[in-house]
């Protein structure tokens, strides 16, 4: 079992380069299933989740060649693919559900194990299923698998209204509808940059999609799609994480290949906390020369404040000047990591989907456990500003979303090492 040993007190200074978005690249790999032939995707981060998705595609019959040095995935999709996504892979990564839409579109059926992933709350598939059923599919749950079957004539376009702008449901319906008969309207669709990225790749493959970047997507089905070459959008959550790291450590970090426009609210909050932010086309710089001021946070679907940045901001508020209220509107179990943050001396009280954070001058190093990707990163950041040593356990969660985090932090001046310790569990 790997852990991070973090010594607090360092000011992070230097430059980092953000790779492609985890939350986009995994879905783009699934998009490749829609077109027989060779699809090439660039800026695919070298993280554990990519390894899992590559293995899932191989089991579906694809050839996958991933080059970590160039961060390029080459996916060879055969004319006939399998339609079963096995539990042993899907349980490790919720993004595996992204194959649901392509499998139905290509094979007319899909057996996908009910997904696992981060322990941040229930993320049901009700909207995925309801949308597919409106397109003519039938769905049942059998022995831990979601079994979806399209009619013999194929899926038919329809008007689908999403009760909530779900990223996953929007992705599933997008990928299922691009080759359906007629026109599909996805109303109240998610608008995240990663959704736009998927739409742009689909359009390159020959899909007809209108309203990209809005909450009303109109998809006109085509007979078939062609393989393509595409570069993943930059990872706004990783970029935002580096921005918070600069603010927490009173540091100075230049973030290359980061899109400040995708982080407008988060960067505005950091400016309110006292940071200086300079942005340009292709990157931005965050400088902090004082103890951060506490800032209130309310998570909302894009373009609102990203839930994936909430743990990092709670960590910053834990050492900020003042008291902040953090409201989590998307995942009810996001606050689980607060218990671990409290082990470092943070003063956080939760009530339902609210957390009251009273900033303290200092935190105190202690052993803690990462419960999900972003919580793990938040604990590492807290360890960077705590007195003494913090040992972060279960860093495999962090590896799912951040490339060689300890190496990048060390290059910025952090005292952090990765160690393998015996698993006594």
Over the stretch 282-300, which tens digit does the pLDDT of each residue have? Answer: 999 999 999 999 999 999 9
Same domain, 287 and 216: no
pLDDT digits (tens, 9 = 90+) for 115-138: 644 343 344 788 999 999 999 999
In a domain, 425, yes or no: no
How far is Cα 409 from Cα 416, in angstroms, rounded to an integer? 7
Spatial distance between the Cα atoms of 65 and 196, rounded to a whole number of angstroms: 25
Catalytic residue among 2, 65, 88, 118: 118
Question: How many domains is the chain partitioned into structurally?
Answer: 2
Choose the final residue of a domain: 167, 202, 231. 231
The reply to whether 308 belongs to the active site is: no
What's the whole-number average pLDDT of the chain? Answer: 94
**In the block, residue with structure tokens 């319906």:** 173
What is the residue range of 149's domain? 22-231
| Structure tokens, 386 | 């705590």
Question: How many Å is the maximal CA-CA distance in the chain?
Answer: 65
User: Domain boundary at 215, 231, 247, which?
Assistant: 231
Domain boundary among 231, 257, 283: 231
Which of 113-127, 188-202, 337-351 has the weakest average pLDDT? 113-127
Instruction: Give a yes or no: residue 68 inside a domain.
Output: yes
Contact 217/186 with Cβ under 8 angstroms?
A: yes
Enclosing H/E stretch for 298 = strand 297-298
Give percent of the chain with pLDDT exceeding 90.
Answer: 87
Q: Is residue 214 part of a domain?
A: yes
d(CA 255, CA 18): 7
Please enumerate in sequence order all residues whose Cβ is within 8 A of that of 261, keeping only pairs 6 or more positions apart, or say none.
Answer: none
Tell me: do 249 and 201 sit in the same domain.
Answer: no
**Contact predicate 137/104, CB 8 Å:** yes
- The secondary element (H helix, E strand) that includes residue 30 is helix 22-31
Instruction: Say if residue 323 is in the same domain as residue 238.
Output: yes
Taking alpha carbons only, the member of 357, 358, 356, 383 closest to residue 368 is 383
pLDDT at res. 414: 98
User: Which of 161, 156, 146, 135 is CA-nearest to residue 221?
Assistant: 156
Query: Which phi and psi angles does 244 have, rounded to 5°?
Result: -65, -40
Specify which residues 252 forms β-bridges with: 13, 287
Domain assignment present for residue 263? The answer is yes
Cβ 371 vs Cβ 397: under 8 Å: yes
What pLDDT is recorded for position 424? 61
Asked whether the predicted pLDDT for residue 261 surpasses 60, the reply is yes
pLDDT band at 86 (very low <50, low <70, confident <90, very high): confident
Asked if residue 155 and residue 249 are part of one domain, the reply reads no
Residue 351 lies in a domain: yes
Phi-psi region of 317 (alpha: psi -120 to 50; beta: other; left: phi over 0): alpha
Residues 187 and 41 in one domain: yes
Residue 252 lies in a domain: yes
Q: What's the Cα-to-Cα distance from 94 to each of 44, 350, 367, rounded to whole Å?
A: 18, 26, 27
The pLDDT of residue 425 is 55
Q: What pLDDT, in 10s, does the model give residues 146-156?
A: 899 999 999 99
Do 261 and 149 lie in a common domain? Answer: no
Alpha carbons 374 and 312: distance in angstroms, whole number = 7
Q: Are 245 and 384 within one domain?
A: yes
Q: Do 273 and 217 have their domain in common?
A: no
pLDDT tops 60 at residue 317: yes
Which residues neighbour 407 within 8 Å (Cβ) at sequence distance 6 or greater?
A: none
Do 181 and 135 meet the contact criterion of CB atoms below 8 Å apart? Answer: no
The answer on 186 and 289 residing in a single domain is no
pLDDT at 212 over 60: yes
Residue 203 — pLDDT band, cuts 50, 70, 90?
very high
Whether residues 56 and 203 fall in one domain:
yes
pLDDT score, position 336: 86
Q: Is the pLDDT of residue 141 over 90?
A: no
Is the pLDDT score of 57 beyond 90? yes
pLDDT exceeds cutoff 90 at 174: yes
Residues 61 and 80 grouped into a single domain = yes
b/e 22-36 (16+ beta carbons within 10 angstroms → b): bbbbbbbbbbbbbbb
CA distances from 318 to 253, 288, 297 (A): 21, 16, 13
Mean pLDDT of 89-114: 88
| Together in a domain, 351 and 332 | yes
Name beta bridge partners: 138.
149
| Displacement of CA 285 from its chain's centroid (Å) | 22
Q: What is the CATH number of the domain that holds 322?
A: 3.65.10.10
């Amino acid at each position: 079992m790997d852990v991070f040993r973090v010594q607090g007190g360092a000011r992070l200074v230097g430059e980092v380069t953000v790779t492609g978005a985890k939350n986009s690249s995994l879905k783009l790999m699934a998009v490749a299933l829609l077109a027989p032939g060779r699809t090439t995707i660039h800026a695919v981060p070298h993280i554990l989740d990519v390894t899992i998705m590559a293995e899932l595609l191989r089991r579906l019959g694809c050839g996958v060649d991933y080059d970590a040095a160039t961060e390029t995935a080459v996916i060879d999709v055969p004319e006939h693919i399998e339609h079963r996504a096995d539990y042993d892979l899907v349980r490790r990564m919720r993004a595996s559900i992204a194959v649901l839409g392509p499998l139905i579109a290509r094979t007319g059926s899909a057996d996908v194990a009910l997904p696992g992933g981060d322990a941040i709350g229930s993320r049901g598939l009700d909207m995925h299923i309801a949308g597919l059923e409106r397109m003519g599919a039938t769905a049942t749950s059998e022995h831990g698998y979601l079994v979806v079957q399209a009619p013999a004539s194929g899926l038919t376009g329809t008007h689908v209204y999403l009760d909530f702008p779900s990223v996953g449901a929007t992705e599933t319906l997008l990928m299922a509808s691009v080759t359906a008969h007629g026109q599909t309207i996805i109303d109240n669709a998610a608008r995240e940059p990663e959704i736009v990225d998927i739409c742009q790749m689909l359009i390159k493959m020959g899909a007809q999609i209108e309203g990209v970047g809005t909450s009303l997507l109109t998809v006109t089905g085509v007979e078939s799609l062609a393989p393509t070459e595409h570069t993943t959008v930059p990872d706004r959550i990783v970029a935002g994480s580096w921005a918070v790291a600069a603010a927490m450590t009173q540091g100075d970090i230049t973030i290359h290949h980061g899109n400040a426009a995708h982080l407008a609210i988060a960067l505005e909050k950091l400016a309110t906390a006292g940071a200086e932010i300079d942005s340009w086309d292709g990157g931005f710089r965050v400088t902090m020369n004082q103890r951060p001021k506490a800032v209130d946070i309310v998570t909302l679907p894009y373009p609102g404040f990203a839930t994936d940045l909430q743990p990092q901001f709670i960590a910053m508020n834990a050492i900020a000047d003042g008291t902040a209220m953090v409201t989590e509107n998307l995942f009810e179990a996001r606050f689980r990591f607060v218990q671990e943050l409290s082990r470092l001396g943070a003063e956080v009280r939760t009530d339902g989907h609210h957390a009251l954070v009273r900033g303290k001058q200092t935190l105190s190093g202690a052993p803690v456990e990462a419960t999900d990707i972003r919580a793990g990163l938040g604990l590492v950041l807290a360890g960077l500003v705590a007195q003494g040593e913090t040992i972060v356990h279960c860093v495999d969660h962090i590896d799912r979303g951040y490339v060689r985090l300890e190496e990048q932090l060390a290059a910025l001046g952090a005292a952090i090492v990765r160690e393998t310790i015996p698993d006594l569990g």
